A and B are shown apart, each in its own frame.
Chain A
């Protein structure tokens, strides 16, 4: 075939071209539009949401749900960028040095400000003073559970077992670890922490009876609790949680341990008031949609749509309480 000299090259270029096009479309979601120069009313360009965790986790899902709603309200596009690393600290560092114009915002976790500083050097700890809080979002509570075969039904049962309890956590410096450590210490139960790298391995180890109990976020455990494979022992919120109405709080069982994860919307320090007001308004309208409410329910999230001041007070109280409790019982989270 005389034409075959050029034909294959064309085929291949076509294929490679298509691959390049796929690559470019994949990047389409990450284009960052400049702030629009300040003329005209905010927002005139895209609002970028960055996430300090990888795709698929709770923080990522919440960010995406919120970004979608806010984008719809404000009529701009709201690309979500995942910047995982150092428990969210990497993303926080980047956000705090961004231009405070409301075009770069992020949903952040309370634990980054209340628990992580207890395990890392002071220089590395992220401070809430570097951010403006726009609104609280939702609470993501913890539950301590055991496998159905173990026979334990409450924290007291663990105490009666009279042996060293091995408990799985979702990692060092997480609320799951703090809640368990405090509970066992206040109850006077001998225990060893076995940290796993996140929720899924922790759950697998518990289901396989590799550890006696595990503490994890409710959304991670609820299906197995409903399916009867896991037995919940305690939740660590102030009051019982609507998703698990029969499960007693640690406080009800006589152990004053309250640890909860919550998330809030933040912008770099010094963001103009009118910008913050716009964002708050759009967030509130999103919170009110049935779609968003359904999202919360499906993921076992309790709304905590409170004012910035309330978020700051919670953060301060939590930090102080945790520090005092750890000091009092001589617990070192870094093991």
Chain B
């Protein structure tokens, strides 16, 4: 393996500008991680247009910093207020807050920070080793493989996400439908454009993301007053004792692995891996009843896993150009704004972006470790800011930003329309994530499938006879059939229920 591009990457990161953007990114990430409500997705969506003015490397370094920084910040409120700052820190609440009540808030935060650091670092090392290997295979990924991966991604995000599956599938279908708007790139036929030139090239990703993630969250949070805010628990010594560390070490190791693997999978990511890591620790524990009452592992495992996953989800994006989750879809958009096509050519054509971004994560994680242990008190105070101050400022930044991307007022209206749609979706229990990811993957699925058919001369069996796409399609079948299989399994034990159904 040629390591000179990796070393050059460090050179890129250590440029003062990039270091500064890395710092800005992780600070913003910490901040929004601490503030309940506004998640990393919303923040990245809102800040997308700002990246237009800065170079591609700095921009992605900053956005990545926001993403993994939020994973650190989300812990703080989970532990101190019993209020997860981030969806991926929901499970941390159980044991984190219990520890805080026992006066061990510092221990919980310390363990979480150390776990996050280790999880993040393990995952970056994995990324450094795995990404070039995947990129080497990437040329074998032709249109049929992309079509298969896209379908798998939509299927996974709508079936394994948190929340109502049917609603997730509906949201994903709407996303697929929106992706069909615009001129058909194969025949030039107009689809759902209603004669408008604005719709001729389809609906742009950025206003959709800014509306559905950004504006809708702001609207929703304005309504959700956090009335029952507790006074933050007192933070004592944040350095965990040797005994606590020993107890958490196994959980940190397993959490790193789970996070890394689940982060790579399409539809996976930080939320899923934190849930999985927590469940695994509970199952493995000799006294599972300790969980929920202040088990150190219950904090260490999910916090380690969510950071590892946040990092490893960059692999499919940087090597294949496929966003694994909604936040990565935003990174995809950010690269496109910069005129960089994420895909197999990225590592050879833009090694500075590829390695610069990966290596910035080492630095970012060190910065975050410093910020989350000695400076934790500063971030706790931010919790006192009123939403009435935050909301109008963020709305202004969002709309202003939406305009600057293409300099068209039309885009502002799109953001507002999608903001309202996102707000209504949340009110009725739909997640916007599957919609956004399905939208991004939708056009990829359609064009890749059609390119594949053209390559095969119209013979669809080509999709299953090519080794890689065949394997992916087998996986798709397995995922689609899984609920049926799972349903069938326990029925065997309760024969009567099956008989009842037959009647």
Residues of A bordering B, CB below 8 Å: 4-5, 7-9, 11-13, 15-16, 19-20, 22-27, 29-30, 54-57, 60, 81-87, 89-90, 93, 119-120, 124, 164, 166, 171-173, 192-198, 200-201, 203-205, 207-211, 333-335
Residues of A within 8 A of B338 (CB): 55-56
- Smallest CB-CB separation from B397: which chain A residue? A23
Residues of A within 8 A of B140 (CB): 208
Q: For B406, give its contact among A83, A201, A211 (CB under 8 Å).
A: A83
Q: Do B52 and A9 touch (CB < 8 A)?
A: no
Distance in Å: Cβ of A82 to nearest Cβ of chain B: 7
Residues of A within 8 A of B336 (CB): 54
Q: Do B397 and A20 touch (CB < 8 A)?
A: yes
Knowing A8-B382, A192-B457 are in contact, say whether A27-B200 is a contact too (CB < 8 A).
Answer: no
Say if the beta carbon of B498 comes within 8 Å of chain A.
Answer: no
Chain B facing A: main interface SS: helix
Most chain B CB within a 10 A radius of its CB, from A7, A9, A86, A171: A86
Q: For A201, give its contact among B343, B403, B408 (CB under 8 Å).
A: B343
Bound: A86/B196 CA distance, A:
10
Q: Do A27 and B406 touch (CB < 8 A)?
A: no
Q: Do A197 and B50 touch (CB < 8 A)?
A: no
Can you list 8 A-B pairs, Cβ within 8 angstroms, ordered by A? A8-B382, A26-B52, A55-B339, A56-B338, A81-B407, A166-B454, A200-B341, A210-B143
Q: For A195, give its contact among B185, B189, B393 (CB under 8 Å).
A: B185
Q: Do A197 and B185 touch (CB < 8 A)?
A: yes
Knowing A26-B52, A164-B457, A210-B455 are in contact, say whether A90-B197 is a contact too (CB < 8 A).
Answer: yes
Residues of B within 8 A of A210 (CB): 142-143, 455
Residues of A within 8 A of B384 (CB): 4-5, 8-9
Bound: A164/B400 CA distance, A:
51
Contact with A along B380-399 (1 / 0, CB 8 A): 01111100011001101100
Q: Do B378 and A11 touch (CB < 8 A)?
A: yes
Bound: A13/B188 CA distance, A:
49
Q: For B397, give its contact among A19, A25, A90, A119 (CB under 8 Å).
A: A19
Most chain B CB within a 10 A radius of its CB, from A13, A81, A210: A210
Residues of A within 8 A of B406 (CB): 82-85
Distance in Å: Cβ of A164 to nearest Cβ of chain B: 7
Distance in Å: Cβ of B455 to nearest Cβ of chain A: 6
Q: Do A196 and B451 touch (CB < 8 A)?
A: yes
Distance in Å: Cβ of B237 to nearest Cβ of chain A: 18
Q: Do A166 and B455 touch (CB < 8 A)?
A: yes
Distance in Å: Cβ of A104 to nearest Cβ of chain B: 12
Q: Do B139 and A89 touch (CB < 8 A)?
A: no
Residues of B within 8 A of A4 (CB): 381, 384
Q: Do B341 and A9 touch (CB < 8 A)?
A: no
- Smallest CB-CB separation from A13: which chain B residue? B389
Knowing A23-B50, A119-B188 are in contact, say whether A192-B454 is a contact too (CB < 8 A).
Answer: yes
Bound: A12/B400 CA distance, A:
20
Known: A82-B407, A89-B197, A119-B188. 15 other contacts (CB 8 A): A9-B385, A11-B382, A12-B385, A15-B31, A29-B53, A30-B404, A54-B339, A83-B406, A85-B197, A86-B183, A124-B200, A192-B457, A200-B343, A203-B345, A210-B455
Contact with A along B422-455 (1 / 0, CB 8 A): 0000000000000000000000000100010011
Q: For A16, give its contact among B47, B393, B454 (CB under 8 Å).
A: B393
Distance in Å: Cβ of A220 to nearest Cβ of chain B: 11
Distance in Å: Cβ of B232 to nearest Cβ of chain A: 11
Q: For B187, give its contact among A12, A24, A334 (CB under 8 Å).
A: A334
Q: Do B340 and A56 touch (CB < 8 A)?
A: yes
Most chain B CB within a 10 A radius of its CB, from A4, A13, A172: A172
Q: For A197, give its contact among B188, B401, B408, B447 (CB under 8 Å).
A: B447
Nearest 6 interchain pairs by C-beta: A56-B339, A8-B381, A208-B139, A210-B142, A200-B341, A86-B200
Q: Do A208 and B141 touch (CB < 8 A)?
A: yes
Knowing A11-B382, A334-B189 are in contact, say whether A204-B389 is a contact too (CB < 8 A).
Answer: no
Bound: A211/B198 CA distance, A:
32
Bound: A84/B188 CA distance, A:
17
Bound: A168/B455 CA distance, A:
10
Say if the beta carbon of B244 comes within 8 Å of chain A.
Answer: no
Bound: A207/B348 CA distance, A:
13
- Smallest CB-CB separation from A53: which chain B residue? B339
> Which B residues from 442 to 477 make CB contacts under 8 A with A?
447, 451, 454-455, 457
Say if the beta carbon of B110 comes within 8 Å of chain A.
Answer: no
Bound: A86/B140 CA distance, A:
32
Residues of B within 8 A of A27 (CB): 400, 403-404
Bound: A25/B53 CA distance, A:
8
Say if the beta carbon of B344 comes within 8 Å of chain A.
Answer: yes
Knowing A55-B339, A210-B142 are in contact, say whether A7-B381 is a contact too (CB < 8 A).
Answer: yes
Q: Do B382 and A172 touch (CB < 8 A)?
A: no
Distance in Å: Cβ of A47 to nearest Cβ of chain B: 16
Q: Do A60 and B139 touch (CB < 8 A)?
A: no
Most chain A CB within a 10 A radius of its CB, from B188, B337, B394, B457: B188
Distance in Å: Cβ of A334 to nearest Cβ of chain B: 4
Most chain A CB within a 10 A radius of its CB, from B52, B197, B340, B401: B197
Contact with A along B110-126 (1 / 0, CB 8 A): 00000000000000000
Residues of A within 8 A of B385 (CB): 8-9, 12
Q: Do A23 and B382 touch (CB < 8 A)?
A: no
Q: For A30, give its contact among B188, B201, B393, B407 (CB under 8 Å).
A: B407
- Smallest CB-CB separation from A93: which chain B residue? B197
Q: Do B340 and A207 touch (CB < 8 A)?
A: no
Residues of B within 8 A of A26 (CB): 49-50, 52-53, 401, 404
Contact with A along B188-204 (1 / 0, CB 8 A): 11000000011011000
Distance in Å: Cβ of B27 to nearest Cβ of chain A: 8
Knowing A23-B401, A194-B451, A196-B451 are in contact, say whether A55-B198 is a contact too (CB < 8 A).
Answer: no
Q: Do A23 and B400 touch (CB < 8 A)?
A: yes
Residues of B within 8 A of A24 (CB): 400
Residues of B within 8 A of A335 (CB): 186-188
Distance in Å: Cβ of A51 to nearest Cβ of chain B: 10
Residues of B within 8 A of A13 (CB): 389
Bound: A55/B49 CA distance, A:
13
